[in-house]
Amino acid sequence: MCNTCGCNPNHSHAHAHDHPAPRKKITIEQDILSKNNSLAKTNRALFKKHQIFALNLVSSPGSGKTALLEKTLRELSAKTRFAVIEGDQQTDNDAQRIAKTGVPVHQINTGAGCHLDAHGIAHALDHFDLKNLDVLFIENVGNLVCPATFDLGEHHKVAVLSVTEGEDKPLKYPTMFENSDVMLLNKIDLLPYLDFDVKKCKEFAKRVNPKIKIFEISVKTGAGMSTWYEWLAQEAREI
């Protein structure tokens, strides 16, 4: 019996011990990312041309990304021109929620895909009047793995982590937090009812990414939201 694949060494099939080299898989991944990165550069140039500040919101499902957007849009859209791209595998539920704020929104359904890519974002931009847009929010598919390595042309990735998920998420999914410039620690209103160590969570995030900015917020109560708004306004002014 072969220790590698469990096949019978006396079996007559010639392919029994032909195992594909891992190098082939790495090459395919590099090709995919290379094409995506090229398209992301095009998106980035378009954002620069129209002076649009673009943010890529990433998180696990249920962290509160859509609720965060709803509150942000309702409180800031009087002075800032927003648009939102919603990414989900199926349904337009979140897009319908955003539409109720009066902000332009476009839905991308990825089907079996677990992340948005630069190509999809480029097509979604055709649905907006870029000359009348200040800030673009991209709400990525709920997933802490796949979206981490796909550049969409955004200025920053913003990771939303809720206190219901466990403080070790930055260590379990380091690539996502390493590639994010901001972490919004959401649902802090629930801390009295949970065994969640905020200090450890922030320490873990800083261990993965020493430069990451961390804001403790509660979308429900509004706690800490002013710090998020201040950062958003400051960064948008500086593009």
Contacts of 45 (CB under 8 A, 6+ apart): none
CA 55 to chain centre: 9
Q: What average pLDDT score do residues 24-51 get?
A: 86
The mean per-residue pLDDT over the stretch 38-44 comes to 98
Select the CATH number that applies to the domain covering 23-237 from these four: 3.30.1490.20, 3.40.1410.10, 3.40.50.300, 1.10.150.20. Answer: 3.40.50.300
Domain limits, the chain: 23-237
Instruction: Tell me the backbone φ, ψ of residue 67, rounded to 5 degrees.
Output: -65, -40
Query: Which residues lie across from 213 on neighbouring strands?
Result: 182
> Token digits for 192?
């009295």
Mean pLDDT over 68-96 rounds to 98
| Average pLDDT score over residue span 33-59 | 97
C-alpha 116/C-alpha 109 separation (Å) is 9
Give backbone dihedrals phi and psi of 198, rounded to 5 degrees, phi first. Answer: -60, -45
The predicted structure's pLDDT at residue 17: 52
Average pLDDT, the chain: 91
Judged against a pLDDT cut of 50, whether residue 120 lies above it is answered with: yes
Give 15's pLDDT tier (boundaries 50, 70, 90): very low
Per-residue pLDDT reduced to its tens digit, 228-238: 999 999 999 99
The Cα 107–Cα 163 span in angstroms is 28
Residue 27 in contact with residue 41, Cβ under 8 Å? no
